[in-house]
Structure 1
Amino acid sequence: MSYDPNAHPINPLPWVVWALVLPVIAMEAILSLGQQGILGGPAAVGWRMAAFQDYAFSGQVLDWMLANGRFPPEQLLRFVTYPFLHAGVTHAVFVVVFILALGKMVGEVFRAWAVLAVFFGSAIVGAAAYGLILNDPVPLVGGYPAVYGLIGAFTFLLWVRLAGTGTNQFRAFTLIGFLLGIQLVFGLLFGGGNDWVADLAGFATGFLLSFVVSPGGWGHVRARLRHR
């Protein structure tokens, strides 16, 4: 067996994963340090709430835009800024871990633009579902809808692989079933919001978008299914 002394002991992350993770880390670091009074002085304690006010997704703002037929760019921006805002350090850490893990697995197969399409497409559709299906005044923050989109893309990769081997394709949905089950249990035990609507919409978006943005697209999927 040959040994390459220049080989990385750990496969490096695709650059697009760092491009998604670093803003989350930077934003949470600034808001947390401000909240603790370490950065920005006394006024910084309110930075998180101010950021929520300006950049979190709001179903009420969406209702206003649809009712008035007006779509100011600064309000539309909320669809792509809310995934980088979090309720606290723990919230942000879990999102970062998921993006690193799933982004690596998806990013090693998908092109960078496809990873971005899945991430932001899932965030946008997740927010739209949250705003249109629910009448929840609580703003939507956090990267989970986009993370669930990456889970959808990862599920797609497993689904295609299982299709090529003739194995039961429903096994590909084990991860999403497990995560939704945990979310349900935590919601029943500790109470929870309606974020699951955005998460589920994000998963469906990531899975369906993968038919288009994955290498080879739908043609590759059809070929795999044909050779089962």
Structure 2
Amino acid sequence: MSSHNNSPLNPLPPVVAALALLIVGIEAVFQLGARAGFFGPEAVGWRLEAVQRYAFSSDIFDWMLSNGRWPAEHVIRLLSYAFIHVSFTQALFAGVMVLALGKMVGEVFSQVAVLAVFVVGAVIGALAYGVLVQTPIPLIGAFPGAYALIGAFTYLLWLRLGQLGERQTRAFSLIGFLMGIQLVFGLLFGSQPDWVADLGGFVSGFVLSIFVCPGGWRRMRDRMRHR
């Protein structure tokens, strides 16, 4: 008989809560700073200053590649951009995605693995943006990291469908739907190049999950041996 003291809900992994709080917390500081007199008049421009100092820039990335120089103040942009957003709505949506997907992935992955998926996804998303997109528009927002968590969730679903003997391509329905939504919005309101970073985050999250999912690499190795 199960104990009545056991919670029917799995606790939220602390690393997921920390990521979401960091995303929303930074945005809250920007919002408060924009209110006249709360932190002083200089606080009004904090968001713009943060974009200039911490957003990922394809131009700066090209300069580093061309000159073979990698100053820390610019290398950090590969990750720091993920914690800056254009508005409270964008930050809230990104935070909710990280919470929801991080919780689902965190029920299987270790906390270190969840953090690795988010961080690597954000970095790979920025690299994809820098290599494949030539635009002066800076990359900001946690969505490449969130899409990496979607990639990890897709991998878990892919494994589950395989165990049930069902069609594993169904696992990619979510990313297909999200990319389709972005395509529709692009056709209606103009395309934004940040979808390249989102897709890069998704692919890296899926691939990394093979190595960080408990037993994931063993399953892949056995599968390849049977072939």
Would you say same fold, with TM above 0.5?
yes
Q: How many residues align?
A: 226
Using a 3 Å threshold, how does the CA distance of structure 1 residues 50 and 160 change in structure 2: closer, same or farther? same
TM-score when normalising by structure 2 = 0.94
- Residue identity over aligned pairs, in percent, reads 57
- Give the corresponding residue for 1:41: 40
Equivalent positions of 1:22-61 (< 5 A) are: 22-37=21-36, 39-61=38-60
* Distance across 2 between alignment mates of 1:148 and 1:26: 20
Bigger shift: 95-104 or 30-39?
A: 30-39
Structure 1: which 5+ runs fail to align? none
Query: Does the CA-based 8 Å contact 1:163-1:224 persist in structure 2?
Result: no
* Distance across 1 between alignment mates of 2:224 and 2:77: 39
Structure 2: which 5+ runs fail to align? none
Query: Does the CA-based 8 Å contact 1:33-1:39 persist in structure 2?
Result: yes
* Distance across 2 between alignment mates of 1:115 and 1:11: 16
Q: Deviations over 1:110-153 (max 9, x none)?
A: 01111111101110110001011111111100000011100000
- Give the corresponding residue for 1:190: 189
Where in structure 1 do 4 or more consecutive aligned residues deviate above 2 Å? Answer: 6-11, 36-39, 220-227
Residue type of the partner of 1:71? W
- Give the corresponding residue for 2:152: 153
Q: Tell me by how many angstroms 1:79 deviates.
A: 0.9
- The yes-or-no answer on 1:73 pairing with 2:72 is yes
TM-score when normalising by structure 1 = 0.94
* Distance across 2 between alignment mates of 1:119 and 1:2: 35
Q: CA RMSD in A?
A: 1.7
* Distance across 2 between alignment mates of 1:38 and 1:225: 63
Equivalent positions of 1:213-228 (< 5 A) are: 213-223=212-222
Residue type of the partner of 2:25? A
Residue type of the partner of 1:50? E
Q: Tell me by how many angstroms 1:221 deviates.
A: 3.8
* Distance across 2 between alignment mates of 1:138 and 1:225: 42
Using a 3 Å threshold, how does the CA distance of structure 1 residues 38 and 208 change in structure 2: closer, same or farther? farther
* Distance across 2 between alignment mates of 1:222 and 1:42: 59
* Distance across 1 between alignment mates of 2:105 and 2:150: 9
Query: Does the CA-based 8 Å contact 1:17-1:100 persist in structure 2?
Result: yes
Q: Secondary structure at the match of 1:186?
A: helix
